[in-house]
Amino acid sequence: VSSAQTVEALLAASGLAPREARALLAHVLGVARERLVAHPEESVAVDKKAAFRAAADRRRAGEPLAYLLGVKEFCGRCFAVNRDVLIPRPETEALVELALHYLRALTAPRVLDLGTGSGCIAITLSLEHPDAEVTATDLSASALAIAAANAQAMSARAIDFRLGSWYEAVPPGARYDLIISNPPYVARHDPHLAELAFEPAVALTDGGDGLRCLAAVIAGAKTAIAAGGWLALEHGYDQHEAVQQMLREHGWRPLTYTDCNGHPRATVARRDGPDNA
Ligand SMILES: C[S@@+](CC[C@H](N)C(=O)[O-])C[C@H]1O[C@@H](n2cnc3c(N)ncnc32)[C@H](O)[C@@H]1O
């Protein structure tokens, strides 16, 4: 127990999938993963061995790898994450790609990301569309702190981070060319919530039927959208019809897109009316 062990033996005894075990050990040792592949015979010092085993125990107990590593890749960039923020999902990359497609036609667009979490959407949009003026909000001050730190680490041009519930966080009368949001949309009694116990509840569920936050974002968009602007929403795989219906009731023309798994996951909409024609 108290002696050094080789990389190979430590990885094999971890009980984790090889890729995860390597990622975790590389993180503990502060070396590149490739080095562990190239030098499985190297010995791991006793204190590092103990730190790796503790991390492997946490992983086996269900803690997401991203929290143990403190980072998650999103749209090709590494975002710092901790338990104050949702771990960015590949499904959300599709939402960002859609948004970039719609932004392409606009000059200096004003963008509002509601419920920014780690900042993954706002920061990616700001870096990929540098003349965008991006505002990002969250109800959670600790999430906003992570988002602001990520923005600084990635040199994202000044993003205006604002604390508050949905549109209450932004100045009255502000108008945006793109409002984008991946709000909490898991219903309170959804059995999947149990598997997501390490992530903040406020990031996952609206505490109701799963549509409350989507409804709040849609309702407020009516006045916060600029003429001709777009609303882009992520939602559950089985919520697109309800989301489309809410949007139509508020005078929007919605179009739903599928995610990387083929599920209807993102809906983009534009408002009807003479000013938006
Ligand atoms: C599903 S997470 C999305 C985080 C990030 N945008 C992403 O896509 O990974 C939802 C976010 O909405 C925030 N949130 C929850 N209720 C809110 C509210 N009433 N107003 C603003 N943000 C809220 C949560 O704190 C969380 O960061």
∠ CA 208-211-213 to the nearest 5 degrees? 90
Residue nearest to atom 27 of ligand 1 (CA): 117
Ligand 1 atom at minimal distance to the Cα of residue 95: 8
- Do residues 54 and 86 make contact, with C-beta atoms less than 8 angstroms apart? no
Best probe residue, ligand 1, of 124, 139, 196, 234 (max atoms within 8 Å of C-beta): 139
Largest CA distance in the chain: 75
pLDDT value at position 181?
98
Which residues have CB under 6 Å of ligand 1?
A: 86, 88, 92, 114-118, 120-121, 137-140, 143, 165-166, 182-184, 202-203, 213
How would you classify the pairing of strands 110-114 and 77-80? unpaired
Distances (CA, A) of 69 to 26, 55, 60, 194, 259: 10, 9, 14, 22, 26
- The pLDDT of residue 35 is 96
pLDDT of residue 271: 84
Q: What is the pLDDT of residue 272?
A: 63
Distance of CA 25 to the CA centre of its chain: 25
The per-residue pLDDT for range 227-245, each reduced to its tens digit, is 999 999 999 999 999 999 9
Question: What confidence score (pLDDT) does residue 113 get?
Answer: 98
pLDDT at 3: 86
What is residue 104's predicted lDDT score, i.e. its pLDDT?
93
Contact 65, 24 (CB under 8 A): yes
The alpha carbon of 262 and the centre of ligand 1 are apart by a number of angstroms equal to 24
pLDDT at 4: 85
| Ligand 1 center–CA 92 separation, angstroms | 13
Q: What is the dihedral of CA 55, 60, 62, 65, to 10 degrees?
A: 50
pLDDT reported for residue 194:
92
- Do you know the residue count of the chain? 277
pLDDT at 1: 52
Distance of CA 138 from the midpoint of ligand 1 (Å)? 6
Is the four-CA dihedral 186, 187, 192, 194 of positive or negative sign? positive
Kindly give the number of the ligand 1 atom that is closest to the alpha carbon of 168. 20
Which parts of the chain register pLDDT below 50?
A: 274-277
Residue nearest to atom 9 of ligand 1 (CA): 88
Q: How close is the Cα of 24 to the center of ligand 1, in Å?
A: 28
Helix (H) or strand (E) holding 57, with range, is helix 46-60
State the distance from the centre of ligand 1 to the C-alpha of 238, rounded, in angstroms: 20
- Ligand 1 mutation pick, 138, 205, 235, max ligand atoms within 8 A of CB: 138
If residue 126 lies in a helix (H) or strand (E), which one and from where to where?
A: helix 120-128
| pLDDT at position 274 | 46
Q: Which long-range contacts (CB under 8 A, 24 or more apart) does 29-36 make?
A: 36/7, 36/11
Name the residue type at position 192: H
Question: What is the whole-number distance in angstroms between the Cα of residue 137 and the centre of ligand 1?
Answer: 8
Q: How far is the CA of 27 from the centre of ligand 1 (A)?
A: 28
